[in-house]
Structure 1
């Protein structure tokens, strides 16, 4: 029992994490669980993933609000209709909110056991995108003046952060049983970058003064390797940006390469209790082909427009509105360069605890954590797995995610001889009530799994006696 308390304390200090197929951890016998922890050994002999169908996975979420936070039932005279309620949506948001998406497709995958070793090989296509946005974007609905208190309203959007990456990986993994208690694993991945866009920094502030004047200040920089045709004005500033016509050929180039690493370990306190820990997607991609950096820094003060000529019907010598637009454009001119750059893989770490009181039952908890800029994104999943011999493996889970505490999930793996069909999700409510869902998560696939011949009853008894 003391060992159980120690493991729970370790998990508590690790915090919680964002969902990425945590139900996969509880649904036993699925080979793709090695992607959670490189030291996992889910099959006894070997497996082969169905090409392009071994694993199709998507995770997407918006911690800020769901659809029915914005579109709501009206009140009073509008009680029988739907209305847009931005005030309620803003009340459900936090100071910083996250819009995230992760998807992957396993093109090829297989693995096999060799005494104390277990080897895996994968080719995957992955897409990750993370956007951190402040509640101040929604607060723009209030304008820039508080008429009730007769004071200005200032807005800051400097916490905005964007990072998106699309790449292919060729991965070779190995795990080894060190002794009766410890198993360790590692996966090395050669990476081929397809596309990337991210904000190096983004500062934008809107300040209103007591006299009604308004000032905008910006200091921002974005990097991308998306093939762009950039035109410039006579002063050398960016005048126009368009995506090239031959973008498909450019994106399939191999100029953008890098390396990634996964590390994992499992420690058995006893025959029933196992603690696991893993760090995934450590590494980088160097972007060299068709890179661009767009940056701007400026300040613009708006003191109003004289519309007296329009009111009196007199002709004005200068269109004041056009002048304001010209001044605004001059204040926030974009420049560019085409130097190469390097990005990380949006890595994560997880900790798991599995307790198996019966051969057909396992209970546990798994956490997964990652950072978006300087913000920790946490989530924790507790669950139970039930196995009906070799034929059926199931799981039921409950996940706590950022600003969305109630997420029930499930998993099922059906083994028809060597053929395995599986599906897992950390959030079933997204399918049952999509209008209330803040997170969507699913992984499904087809494998061929070989665990060796079943032993006769008398052989099992003889082994237990020995």
Structure 2
């Protein structure tokens, strides 16, 4: 074949961005909400609720999720113009132009299983158990460039598609918090010590893709080089190999959900530190650093270090045109044969697997903020949050107005600049019904109105049980 134009289908595009409504960090609208005990999630010294006892129960005390990306679904698929005004169009060029050199989409989920907070005269003590999960996918713009242009512009060249990074984890967190007023009531300091038990992890150290095209277009050579760590309910002993010691399958029949959720072999530690300083009766400053720590995955690990290449020379369908001929070959058989060739070329050998331990650091968050109290029931706030992990750094700046109405209804409105997204209007509401408090917080209400244009969406909702509250 003289000219192979790469036609890696449109399905790949849609798959790549169909989860593009995807995360930053905990809701920044939440931190200065009046009457909300969850403020200590972002600063262990900050307590916006005065209750003597706070209790959270599984399934009742809420959930948090967020999704974010460096692009929106609308960048790829949107309504057309002119004669296509009533149709959806696939805008590959527009999507490509919206990308940075490195792009990612992220997702977080957390569910509290138990929480107990007890207030003393000058101190606050808390215990919390939470399930947490995160997934992140990062890719380079060069990959989309190749999918858009094909290999024709790169004849006789080696084109680097960049690195793909997939990182994910699930762990249980046991947090022990303590805060105390010092220097009268002008300064409060707090800390949390967290014991972590890792359940699952995927860590990509390297996943590089390159494409080499013959000068005359007669072949295309795809090369991969990957180093990946995995920990989960399936161990290295469950991987099956053929007689030549090449990977064939993974046995998942012995997965025990109870053992997965209760295993404690992958242990880690993390810390939160925070402080709140009251400069004047109206002006308060706060700062914290959250999730400084890591998890050591030592049990049920799979490490893969694999490099391979696949030479694509096209498929000859010349014998698949006339079924009446004796040398007729079914085109499906030809495609199956090529898929088998692809599979065999990317089939890892047993020697490329091992079960070494590895560490995974938690994404660290740094919060710096301040409030101005107009009166006892209304304040204005500004909060900056830096989200940092091994490959991504994101900054969020939030301005908020916070009110407590009638000592039973808390209302916060916010405006946030999150990464490259500057149109995020947030809302937090909390309603006190006796000792119960119902709440809902989101940093981007605009996403509900037009999800296709959103690069970020999050929500925290649930119920608190508050006893001995002072107004």
Normalising by the residue count of structure 1, what TM-score does the alignment of the two structures yield?
0.84
**Greater mean deviation of Cα atoms: 48-57 or 298-307:** 298-307
Counterpart among 429, 444, 447 of residue 461 in structure 2: 444
Checking the alignment, whether the CA contact within 8 Å between 1:64 and 1:403 is kept in structure 2 is: no
Partner of 1:256: 266
Gaps of 5+ in 1: 1-16, 455-466
Partner of 1:184: 189
Q: CA deviation at 1:28?
A: 1.2
Structure 1's 320 and 415: CA in aligned 2 closer, same or farther, altered over 3 A? closer
> Which secondary structure does the structure 2 equivalent of 1:139 belong to?
helix
**Aligned counterparts of 2:253 and 2:271: Cα–Cα separation in 1:** 33
Q: CA deviation at 1:160?
A: 1.8
Gaps of 5+ in 2: 1-22
Partner of 1:56: 63
> Which secondary structure does the structure 2 equivalent of 1:18 belong to?
coil
Partner of 1:36: 42
> Which secondary structure does the structure 1 equivalent of 2:264 belong to?
coil
Structure 1's 432 and 289: CA in aligned 2 closer, same or farther, altered over 3 A? same
**Greater mean deviation of Cα atoms: 206-215 or 121-130:** 206-215
> Which secondary structure does the structure 2 equivalent of 1:435 belong to?
helix
Report the count of equivalent residues: 434
> Which secondary structure does the structure 1 equivalent of 2:30 belong to?
helix
Q: CA deviation at 1:155?
A: 4.7
**Greater mean deviation of Cα atoms: 359-368 or 72-81:** 72-81
Counterpart among 32, 49, 52 of residue 46 in structure 1: 52
Partner of 1:281: 291
Q: CA deviation at 1:406?
A: 0.7
Partner of 2:240: 231
Partner of 1:102: 108
Pairwise CA RMSD of aligned residues? 2.9
Checking the alignment, whether the CA contact within 8 Å between 2:92 and 2:148 is kept in structure 1 is: no
**Aligned counterparts of 2:119 and 2:340: Cα–Cα separation in 1:** 68
> Which secondary structure does the structure 2 equivalent of 1:184 belong to?
strand
Q: Deviations over 1:382-434 (max 9, x none)?
A: 11112224122211111112232211001112223332211111011222222
Checking the alignment, whether the CA contact within 8 Å between 2:33 and 2:48 is kept in structure 1 is: no
> Which secondary structure does the structure 2 equivalent of 1:115 belong to?
coil
Checking the alignment, whether the CA contact within 8 Å between 2:200 and 2:233 is kept in structure 1 is: no
Q: CA deviation at 1:91?
A: 2.3
Checking the alignment, whether the CA contact within 8 Å between 1:365 and 1:383 is kept in structure 2 is: yes
**Greater mean deviation of Cα atoms: 277-286 or 47-56:** 47-56
**Aligned counterparts of 1:453 and 1:175: Cα–Cα separation in 2:** 18
Partner of 1:339: 356
**Aligned counterparts of 2:399 and 2:430: Cα–Cα separation in 1:** 19
**Aligned counterparts of 1:430 and 1:186: Cα–Cα separation in 2:** 34
Structure 1's 306 and 410: CA in aligned 2 closer, same or farther, altered over 3 A? closer
Q: CA deviation at 1:32?
A: 0.9
